[in-house]
Structure 1
Amino acid sequence: MHRFVIFAALVAASMLAGCAPHAAVKPASTITLNVDAAGKPGADADMKKVLGALEMIQAGRIQLAIDGPLNEVIDKYEALYKGRAGMVFCARGVGDALIYATLGSKTVNGKADVPVEVIGSAWALAYWARGYAYSEMARYADARAELEKALALSPMDSQYKNELAFTYQRSGDWNRMLALYQEAEGTAEISGTTPEATTELKCVALRGQGYALVELHRLDEATKAYQGCLKLVPGEPKSLGELGYIQDLRAKAH
């Protein structure tokens, strides 16, 4: 595991901007991530539990996944950080970690320069997985509660926003669904750990926008959204199918 102290990066940035500090300042933010030499995230014991839980969910052992590994990981971190001062975020890699580490410099509850700790993604991913599990059980209100917890820890994570948007699709709240998918598209560059992952996150977000826009009878915008996915992934079958559906709607209207 590699430990990073974000303050060093902030000092370097200020010097490049021509405003180097006059005196050393105590670091307010730390990043602790499990990454390899290339900066790609590794799988620690907690992450392996979450990934194992996802396999259980996909195999239909949903409640067992919730009651077992997911609750175990979540309970561990909730106990560890209960009552701790400052802010904590979960990051997938160095890129989003650096962004989260700077959030403590913003005013929070009337106080500025709040200490920030950025850790790996297992805790937030466990909330997401529990939300995904509840969605599979059609318990969408419970799913939303879990996904909001995941986003509180990783506010720029497109995967969590995409999943939360899906719960609003199931309840027919098209405007909220659309807004979340738009946010997810906007943060894909930050939360995607590889170019392929970024493309997938964007395409999911664009397809979701297209779906909501069709329901809102904004067919031109929906067409543009699906075409945006096809620009990223030529021949993407779901987008092609939805564009065909839009053509049928237009034909029926005439």
Structure 2
Amino acid sequence: MFSLIILLSGCATQGTQQSSPLSTMDKDSPEYYVASGYSFLSNRSTKKAIKEFDKAIDLCQKQHKDREEVIYASRSPVETLYYMMKAAAEQKSAVAVAQTCADALYFKGYAVLDFGELELAQNLLDQALSMSPANAMYLSEVGHIHHIKKSWKEALDVFIKAEDAAETYSPDQVKQKELTRAKRGIGFSLIELGRLDEAEVKFNECLEINPNDKTAKHELEYIKRLRTNVQGDS
């Protein structure tokens, strides 16, 4: 017989952000080290940031080492419900916790990309996604890694998942940002696959959401130039 356990803190219903000042946090908590690492990362002190994320990951592993349930990290009630239904369908016990431990993996993955460690970054992001498979931000970062590798079809597949996740599960305060990033990722991938008409649709969808999306505007101009070059060669 399977069981479903939902442990929701305030952080589990919010977008990924560290809003509390470090001085108010427990220095022996993953939250403290993720916030500290994020601060270093924001100041381009990447090596120091990675050390902080490692401390958070170590604390998370210790916290969860004796748990038998599948551990999901959620940002919203609808995302939590999805994970609980997923676990029920698989007849597994599951627990939904705050986003902190998954964020530690995500941010470290983001950070190590600065040093060109693509495989390590993808491994860390895969671990984050095992906790938060419907997190559009994590999915888009995996898509970005595929772009770096020039694996355009793989990138397209991941960004399509990110788009769906953003539309369905991203919290309202980050939905626009995560949705447009996913759509741009789809568009970039489609350009590289030579599917310009489909790419154009995606970038126009970005402008419908955010008329000031400079990247989408730039890519639409790039598509026009590509078409002009093709016509000139024919």
Q: Shared fold (TM-score greater than 0.5)?
A: yes
- Pairs within 5 Å for 1:112-151: 112=91, 114-151=92-129
Structure 1: which amino acid aligns with 2:223? I
Aligned to 1:21: none
1:39-78 equivalences under 5 Å are 40=14, 45-67=29-51, 69-78=52-61
**Amino acid aligned to 1:122:** T
Partner of 1:11: none
TM-score normalized by structure 1? 0.81
- In the other structure, the counterpart of 2:184 is 207
Output one character per residue of 1:4-40: Cα deviation in whole Å (capped at 9) or x when no partner: xxxxxxxxxxxxxxxxxxxxxx98212222228xx65
Unaligned 5+ runs, structure 2: none
Query: Using CA pairs below 8 Å that are at least 6 residues apart, which structure has the higher relative contact order?
Result: 2
| Alignment of structure 1 residues 1-254 onto 2, 5 Å | 28-35=3-10, 40=14, 45-67=29-51, 69-82=52-65, 84-107=67-90, 112=91, 114-194=92-172, 196-254=173-231
The structure with the largest helix share of the pair is: 2
Deviation readout 1:137-179 (Å, 9 max, x if unpaired): 2211111000000000000000000011101100100001111
RMSD: 2.0
> 1:73 offset after TM fit, Å?
1.3
Q: Which amino acid aligns with 2:38?
A: L
- Does the Cα contact within 8 Å between 1:103 and 1:116 map onto a contact in 2? no
What's the CA shift for 1:102? 2.2
- Matched AA of 1:35: G
Q: Structure 1, residues 196-216: CA drift from partner, whole Å, max 9, x if none?
A: 411111100011111111111
Q: How many pairs does the alignment contain? A: 220
1:83 deviates by 5.0
**Does the C-alpha gap of structure 1 residues 40 and 170 become closer, same or farther in structure 2, counting only changes over 3 Å?**
closer
Contact 1:88 1:153 in 2 (8 A): yes
- State the 1:234 CA deviation: 1.1
Between the aligned partners of 2:228 and 2:32, the Cα distance in structure 1 is 50
Q: Secondary structure at the match of 1:84?
A: coil
SS in structure 2 opposite 1:60? coil
CA apart distance, 1:246: 0.6
Take 2:83 and 2:110, find their aligned partners in 1: how far apart are those partners?
24
SS of equivalent to 2:211: coil
Shift of 1:78: 1.5
Q: Which residue of 2 aligns with 1:15?
A: none
| Unmatched runs of 5 consecutive residues or more in structure 1 | 1-25
| Structure-2 change in CA distance of 1:48 and 1:232 (3 Å) | farther
Return the TM-score normalized by structure 2: 0.87
Larger Rg: 1
